[in-house]
Structure 1
């Protein structure tokens, strides 16, 4: 007896159809691949998926044996491919096994169907992106590879070893949560960093601002201010990049809130969303005023997967968490706001995650957490304005002040309502 015995025949047939469709999707990609077409293609891959689905539907206990049996002809075909074509790539062979498992997943449950569809789509994209992936890997130098490898190694070793509980010796901090947030924030920056590397140094000014905002809006502001000083005629272009990088900080903070405390996200989305919309509208106006769309590269943005900056953020986050809890106990909401403003001068992420966590634990109310997060974002926005004045030209300073001033005003108005 299996879980499908009580299911309607239409459900079983629909799941089989999904399995075959996923196999056809992968098979079509392999059919057009230089190395995959002769091994297996648009007919064979649907059969792999159907094979896995039928075994999982009627003989679920035998699925491991069925996969082992499938490995035998696959190995023979792979050996022949290596012998006749001198191609030792394992991609198509691996894709065949994955497709079989995806077919089996469709028969597990409707959640399995959803997972199979998502994974099948991701596998197809990954297979079809062979050239861009290899080109991207070739662009990464040895120093960046070592830095990324060290960071990933430390994450894999340190995270499971950290205790997942509050420790009195650390004033009640949860070490695993602190390090998990370090990995999360660094991962956001690394995703944007990868996007920037894929697009290359000749990307447009708009993408430069977005990527710089997710990796380091402060570094973007410094770079644009220096470029405006070197060539004053580019003040509109540089102001656009600074504003774009600054407003990207708001949706980034919203993502962090949604991950740490989803219940707080709707409350925070209102002021941060309004600030994003106002900033985006002003940025569009700046873009059309720009005389050129010169390609701009943010030299200061580095690979976020580096151990020392990650440890520094972890220390800042732990300190902000402790100070915020104490400030709330001693001074109430005013203490939280003061801490948010001071913390925001250096880093918005630490305060955003801290208040999201405190709100989830009930230590502060949603309104206090929302206000504190917006205060930290406003404080960090002031830093961008100051950098534009100190390192850039007067025209750049005025443009950034007017635009980001309107952004801050919109956030303050919504908080006061």
Structure 2
């Protein structure tokens, strides 16, 4: 007897339902769109999906031909849309073609159905946020766009061309790995930068600290310190932003460890996780102390997708990697810890990735790598407190130092266990 759950007909119908459902979802969005509704809407898009699904299920060999045939009526309808509305936008036309492909993808396999659901959801969201995306694009200055385009082009051209092996001329360094880490770290900051640009200057101070922590916690600290120097009454809210930006450094380091050496993550997660939790509690307390009328706009954070700073980070990363290897070879663990502290004063990302890589290769132990990463994080946290004292006011420096000291102690305690 055939199990109804595994019956081939039931499976086909379920996948068909997924495809048509995605078509209906996209169709509803297009129905509400000013330009999309005149071309195709809540009834037509499910039919696109059904068309692709049925062809893929029963006539897979002619799927490409069927999609080509679909282009003909779509082209005619598109021409009529241009004639009627004077709108030459291709969004709805592309959505229609993708809907037919999604229907076919949903019928391919269970993995295909899941993929279709994810992609269909992403398409619906993308179609729904037309105005915010256009507003966001209009906010980005021409110089920022050019900087991003140049960086992306350099990445696409340079990364494949770099040799993926250790080179004697570079003292054993792998140039592709170094450039890949530059792209990775810069990408983390760029995502946060885009979020900051999308939210605009009215973002809350919590997001100011979080975004600033991913883009540049040092720049955020300097900006907040300067604001308190101009208006001392803002020291509470500025201290909150500084602390938030500082503790974001810990989960950022965890992300880097997880990418470079996942086996090291469980060891590093305990001290850095504790510092993150204690920091969140401390930041929450600071936020509770701030009054509702205390507001502060974030400082200007520059686009991380700039070639100069990216190349500088690449040089720093390469130097830290070489120094760490030789320091461990000549001085043992004490040399690694000294390098971690000195590197952490300027940048945590380079030493975090370096020690993760060395631990993955077996050049240093898990314990040494973990301790070195925590030392670098503590050194960088110390720098934030010093900047708050030097560039801000006495109240800001004292408050930031007290909070960050508690955070550091929590990490040291768990590290010593």
Q: Deviations over 1:329-375 (max 9, x none)?
A: 22332222211111111111111111222222222222222221111
Q: Are the aligned partners of 1:15 and 1:107 in contact in 2 as well (CA < 8 Å)?
A: yes
Alpha-carbon offset, residue 293 of structure 1: 4.9
Q: Are the aligned partners of 2:224 and 2:299 in contact in 1 as well (CA < 8 Å)?
A: no
Does 1:148 pair with 2:170?
Answer: no
Q: Are the aligned partners of 1:264 and 1:359 in contact in 2 as well (CA < 8 Å)?
A: yes
- Distance between the aligned counterparts of 1:259 and 1:71, measured in 2? 42
Q: Secondary structure at the match of 1:107?
A: helix
Alpha-carbon offset, residue 392 of structure 1: 0.8
1:330 aligns with 330
Q: Secondary structure at the match of 2:136?
A: helix
Q: Are the aligned partners of 1:105 and 1:116 in contact in 2 as well (CA < 8 Å)?
A: yes
Alpha-carbon offset, residue 325 of structure 1: 1.7
Q: How many residues align?
A: 412
Alpha-carbon offset, residue 51 of structure 1: 1.8
Matches within 5 A, 1:71-150: 71-150=71-150
Runs of 4+ residues over 6 Å off in structure 1? none
Alpha-carbon offset, residue 123 of structure 1: 0.9
Q: Secondary structure at the match of 1:34?
A: coil
Alpha-carbon offset, residue 7 of structure 1: 7.5
2:171 aligns with 171
Matches within 5 A, 1:195-344: 195-344=195-344
Q: Are the aligned partners of 1:260 and 1:356 in contact in 2 as well (CA < 8 Å)?
A: yes
Q: Secondary structure at the match of 2:221?
A: helix
How has the CA–CA distance of structure 1 residues 106 and 367 changed in structure 2, closer, same or farther, with 3 Å as cutoff?
farther
Q: Are the aligned partners of 2:165 and 2:175 in contact in 1 as well (CA < 8 Å)?
A: yes
Q: Are the aligned partners of 1:205 and 1:294 in contact in 2 as well (CA < 8 Å)?
A: no
Cα RMSD, aligned residues only: 1.5
1:386 aligns with 386
Which has the larger displacement, 258-267 or 290-299? 290-299
Q: Deviations over 1:90-145 (max 9, x none)?
A: 00001111122222222223222222211111111110000000001111111111
- Distance between the aligned counterparts of 1:352 and 1:203, measured in 2? 30
Alpha-carbon offset, residue 324 of structure 1: 1.5
2:54 aligns with 54
State the TM-score, normalizing by the size of structure 1. 0.96
2:412 aligns with 412
Q: Are the aligned partners of 1:345 and 1:379 in contact in 2 as well (CA < 8 Å)?
A: yes
Q: Are the aligned partners of 2:253 and 2:349 in contact in 1 as well (CA < 8 Å)?
A: yes
- Distance between the aligned counterparts of 1:186 and 1:231, measured in 2? 33
Alpha-carbon offset, residue 291 of structure 1: 2.9
- Distance between the aligned counterparts of 2:397 and 2:226, measured in 1? 12
State the TM-score, normalizing by the size of structure 2. 0.96
How has the CA–CA distance of structure 1 residues 31 and 236 changed in structure 2, closer, same or farther, with 3 Å as cutoff?
same
2:357 aligns with 357
- Distance between the aligned counterparts of 1:143 and 1:319, measured in 2? 30
- Distance between the aligned counterparts of 1:48 and 1:367, measured in 2? 57
- Distance between the aligned counterparts of 1:353 and 1:113, measured in 2? 37
